[in-house]
Amino acid sequence: MPRLPASSAVPSRSVALRRQLLAAGLALAALAPPPAAQAADAVPRTLLPVVNAAAIAGRCDAELERARKFKAAIEAKAEPAGVLADLNQLSRQTEDFFGPLELVANTWPDKATRDAADACALKYTPFVAELFQSDALYRRVRDFVPADDIDAAYRRDLLDGFEDNGVSLPADKRDRVRALQSQLNELGQQFSKRLREDKTTVTMTPAELAGLPPDYVKALPRDAAGNVQLDLSYPQYRPFMEQARSEDARRRYWTAFQRKGGQPNIELLNRLVATRTELAALYGQPDFATFALRRRMTGTPATVFDFLGQVGRAVTDGEKADIAVLREAKARELGKPLDAVTVERWDTAYYDALVRRQKFDIDQEALRKYFPTEAAIAFALRINETLYGLRFVERKVKAWHPDVRYFDVFDATADGKPGAFVAGVYLDLFPRKDKYGHAAAFPLRGASAPLGRRPLGALVTNFNRKGLNHDELETLLHEFGHVMHGALSRVRYLDQSGTAVKRDFVEAPSQMAEEWAWQTESLALFSQLCKTCPQLSAAQIGKLQAARHFGNGIQYARQWLYASYDMQLYSGAPQDAGALWNRLEGATPLGHVADTWFPAGFEHIASGGYAAGYYGYLWSQVLALDMASTFRGGRMLDPALGQRYRDEVLSQGGQRDPKLMVERFLGRPISNAAFLEELGAPVAPAAAGSPADAGVASASPARP
C-alpha cells in the first residue's frame, strides 16, 4: 500500500507530498517508460520520460481507475495471509506514475505541464482516505500475523494509517475526513503555487549594488534606465543581503522577501490550521499538534514544548551576544558611537559576513574559487563512494532540461569497478525561470527487495555555475544526504523505503552529512579532484572551523522561533497566523518589523509536511551531531565505519525504529553532548524527557 501520510526531505517538502500521495495508494505507474524504452545495456534502471501536459492529463483518470481496480481485487480476498505483499504490489503498480509528479510541478520548463502535474496530484487525493477507509483491507491487515519484526513494523504503520483515516469512525465522519484531506491538499497546492509564481521584483540603482561581486552584478537584468531588477530567488537574494553596502537597499529587498506569498497566503494558512484542527477533532483530539505528534518520536506536545524550552534557554544568551558583536561591527563601519547604532533584521546577514571577513578572514564569495561547481559535485560523489563502497557512473539520457545530469549508482567491486546496480540519481543544479527556488531532494521510486526494485531520486538546487561558497557546499552535502538515504535503502516494503521515516528523524542523516564540509580530512579530497584549482591551506581550514559557531546564537534562536511558532499555531484553538507571528517575533531581541508577514512564505508548515513538526529540525540535530562525532578523529573517510552506518541506518528506511537504528550504529545510548556543545550550553548528562533520553533528532539551523 502506498505510503502513509507524513517529512528533504525532506525534506524536504518533496518527501511530505510523496508520502501523502503514496499513503493514498497513489504512487504513479503511468509516467514510467515501458521496458523497451530503457537503456540497451544490462543495467536494470528505469528513467523518467520527458512528459508534457497532454501525457499527464491523458493518463490521470486511467491510472486512478487502475488503482481502484487493484484495490478492489485486494479487498476481495478474505484471508489475511499475503495482504502485506498485495499492498506492496499496489505500491509498485502505482508509484511510477505519481512519484514524479511533484518533481514535474516544480522543475518542468513548461507551465502547462507543471499545472497538469498539480491538477493530477489533486485529482488523486480523495483516494487517500478512500483506500484507508476500506473495512475489508483493514480487517485483512488487522488479522495478519507478522512473520518477523519487519512485517510487524509495516503492519503497525498500516494500522496507524487506517486509524488516521477514520476506519473506525461513523460513516458521516469518514466522509468528512475524506473531504478535509482533499481540502488540505488543495489549500496546500494553492499556497505553494503562489510562492512558486510570485513575480515580485525590487528595483535597485547601480549605486545600490556597491559591495556586490562583478559577476553577480553583470548577470542581473536591467531596465531601460539602467537599473537592475531583483527577484525573490535565493541565488539573487542571499548574496545581496550579505554584501550590499546600502542599508536602505537591504531594507527594501528584505521587506519584499518577507512579504513573499502576500496576505492571501496568510489567509490560506489560517484555513489550513482550521481544517487540520477540525480533522483532529473528528478523532477526539484537542488540536492538530496532539493528533500529529502521537505518531512521532516525541509522542506528545508536552515533550516538544519541554524540548523547545531547553533549547530556548540555551540560545538566549548566545543570540544577545551575537547581536552585540554585529552592533559593534555596524558602529565601526558607520563611524558612529555604539549607543547611536541599532542592528535591524536586514543587517544581520551583512554584518555576519563582515565580521567573518574581518575576524576570521572568511569571505564566502572568495571561497568560490576553492569549490568550483564541477569539483564540488565530484567531491560529494567521492565522499559517498569512499564511505559506502559505491561507484557513480554518469550516463547521457534524455531529461526535462539540458542542464539535468543522470548517474547510475553501483556497488563497487573488490577492484573498485562498478558491480551490482544500486540506484539512479538525477542532478538539476542551476537556477532558471519558474524552477523550484530552494534546494531539495525529490524521491521518485522506492526500494523493495522482494520486487527487485531499485530507487530513483533527484537532487534539485540553484547553484552558481562557476563555484560554490562554503555555505552552498554544506547545502549540497545536506541535500545529497537525503538522496543517498533513498538510494541506499534496502527494505522489504516500498512504503518504508528511503526517507519514509518518522518526521522528526528524517533530517538526521542529511544533517550529519554536512560534517564532511568542515573537516580537513574530507576537504583534502579537492586536491585530488581539481588539479588546477587553488587549494585551501590548513590555516584557511582552521579559520573556517574557528568561524563555524559564530552566529549560532542568532541562527538557532531563529530556528527555535520557527519551531515555537509552528507548535503554538497548531496547539489549542486556531489563532490568526499573522497576529501570532507578530507577537512571537516581536518578543525577540530584534523585534518584529511592521507590514511584513513571514508566515506567508513558511511553506514547510503550510504545505510541506512539517505542520506541528518543524521542531524536528532541532530535534534531529541531536542524533545528527551524535552520529557525526563517531567519524571524527581521523575516520571521516573510514569505509568500515561508513559501511556500518549504511547497514544500520541508511539501508533500513522506515522498517526499524529510529532510536534502535542509531543506537545500533553508535554501539551505545544516544548522547546530547554534541548538541549542547553546538548550542554553547553546559554539557551535562541527559535528563529524563530530554532529546537524548527520548532518542530524538533535529536539523540544521542554517536551513529553514
User: Distance between CA atoms of 351 and 343, rounded to whole angstroms?
Assistant: 9
Please check whether residues 125 and 187 belong to one and the same domain. Answer: yes
293 and 171 co-located in one domain: no
> What's the total number of domains in the chain?
3
**What local confidence, expressed as pLDDT, does residue 17 receive?**
34
In the prediction, which pLDDT does 699 show?
31
- Give catalytic residues, as residue numbers: 479
User: Whole-number mean pLDDT of the chain?
Assistant: 90
**Mean pLDDT over residues 458-476, rounded?**
96
Same domain, 105 and 214: no
- Cα dihedral: 234, 238, 239, 242 (round 10): 180
Same domain, yes or no, for 138 and 219? no
Looking at the fold, whether 39 and 146 belong to one and the same domain comes out as yes
pLDDT band at 681 (very low <50, low <70, confident <90, very high): low
Task: Tell me if 81 is assigned to some domain.
Answer: yes
Q: How many residues does the chain have?
A: 704
Host H or E run for residue 568 = helix 552-569
What band does 665 get if pLDDT is binned at 50, 70 and 90?
A: very high
For residue 677, name the pLDDT band (cuts at 50, 70, 90). confident
Kindly report, residue by residue over 385-407, the tens digit of the pLDDT. Answer: 999 999 999 999 999 999 999 99
Same-domain check for residues 245 and 105: no
Task: Let me know whether 674 and 534 are in one domain.
Answer: yes
Q: Is the pLDDT of residue 698 over 50?
A: no
For residue range 489-540, list pLDDT tens digits in order: 999 999 999 999 998 999 999 999 999 999 999 999 999 999 999 999 999 9
220/90 same-domain check: no
Alpha-carbon distances of 537 from 281, 534, 540, 543, 547, rounded to whole Å: 59, 9, 5, 10, 15
Instruction: Tell whether the model's pLDDT for residue 1 goes beyond 60.
Output: no
Label each residue of 266-301 as H, E or C: HHHHHHHHHHHHHHHHHCCCCCHHHHHHCCCCCCCH
pLDDT surpasses 60 at 29: no
Residue 492 counted as domain residue: no
Question: Higher confidence at residue 623 or residue 26?
Answer: 623
H-run or E-run covering 443: strand 440-445
Confidence at residue 293, expressed as pLDDT on a 0 to 100 scale: 96
Least confident of 16-20, 128-132, 233-237, 322-326: 16-20
> Which tens digit of pLDDT belongs to each residue from 302-324?
999 999 999 999 999 999 999 99
Asked if residue 490 is part of any domain, the answer here is: no
> Which of 562 and 688 is assigned the larger pLDDT?
562
CATH of residue 27? 1.20.1050.40
pLDDT of 283-295, one tens digit each? 999 999 999 999 9
Residue 654 near residue 295, CB atoms below 8 Å: no
The pLDDT value recorded for residue 599 is 98
Please report the DSSP string for 80-102 in residue order: STTHHHHHHHHHHHHHHHHTTHH
Same domain, 83 and 109: yes
- Residue 393: count of CB within 10 angstroms of its CB: 13
Q: Tell me the mean pLDDT in the region 143-161.
A: 96
Does residue 699 or residue 185 have the better pLDDT? 185
Q: How far apart are the first and last CA of the chain?
A: 32
Mapped onto helix, strand or coil, the DSSP state of residue 200 is coil
Q: Which of 147, 171, 195 is the last residue of a domain?
A: 195
Of 214, 238, 257, which residue constitutes the final position of a domain? Answer: 257
Share of the chain above pLDDT 70, in %: 91
Question: Are 174 and 224 in the same domain?
Answer: no
The strand pairing partners of 202, in sequence order, are 230
Task: Kindly list the distances between the CA atom of residue 328 and the CA atoms of 89, 210, 321, 325, 375, in Å, as whole numbers in the listed order.
Answer: 63, 22, 11, 5, 38
Domain span at residue 251 reads: 200-257
Mean pLDDT in residue range 624-653: 97
Q: Which of 4-13, 108-117, 243-252, 376-385 has the lowest mean pLDDT?
A: 4-13
Look up the pTM and report it. 0.87
* C-alpha R_g of the chain: 24
Question: What's the pLDDT band for 245 if we cut at 50, 70, 90?
Answer: very high
Half-sphere exposure of 243 (CA within 13 A, CB side): 19
Give the residue-averaged pLDDT of 679-686: 58
Average the pLDDT over each of 336-340, 406-410, 685-689 and give the range with the smallest value: 685-689
pLDDT at 614: 95
Q: Judge whether 31 lies within some domain.
A: yes
| Helix ranges, 24-110 (H) | 53-75, 83-98, 101-107
pLDDT given at position 123: 85
More confident residue, 225 or 699: 225
- Which domain CATH number covers 697? 1.10.1370.10
Residues 6+ positions from 390 with CB-CB distance below 8 Å: 384, 409, 410, 411, 412, 422
pLDDT at 86: 96
Considering the domain architecture, whether residues 617 and 678 belong to the same structural domain is answered as yes
Specify if 88 maps to a domain: yes
Residue 700 has pLDDT above 70, yes or no: no
Q: Does a structural domain hold residue 451?
A: no
Q: With respect to residue 427, please indicate whether it lies within any of the assigned structural domains.
A: no
Predicted confidence at residue 157, as pLDDT, reads 95
Last residue of some domain: 218, 239, 257? 257
How far apart are alpha carbons 359 and 3 in whole angstroms?
49
Which three cell numbers, joined as nine digits, stand for 376? 564540488
Name the band, by pLDDT with cuts 50, 70 and 90, for residue 6. Answer: very low
What pLDDT, on a 0 to 100 scale, did the predictor assign at position 695? 37
* pLDDT, tens digit, 9 for 90 and up, residues 180-195: 998 999 999 999 999 9
Q: Is the pLDDT of residue 34 over 70?
A: no
110 and 215 share a domain? no
Q: Tell me whether residue 371 is in a domain.
A: no
Q: How confident is the model at residue 16 (pLDDT cuts 50, 70, 90)?
A: very low
Contact 602, 569 (CB under 8 A): no
Question: Sign of the C-alpha dihedral, residues 502, 504, 507, 511?
Answer: negative
Task: Tell me: pLDDT of 10 over 50.
Answer: no
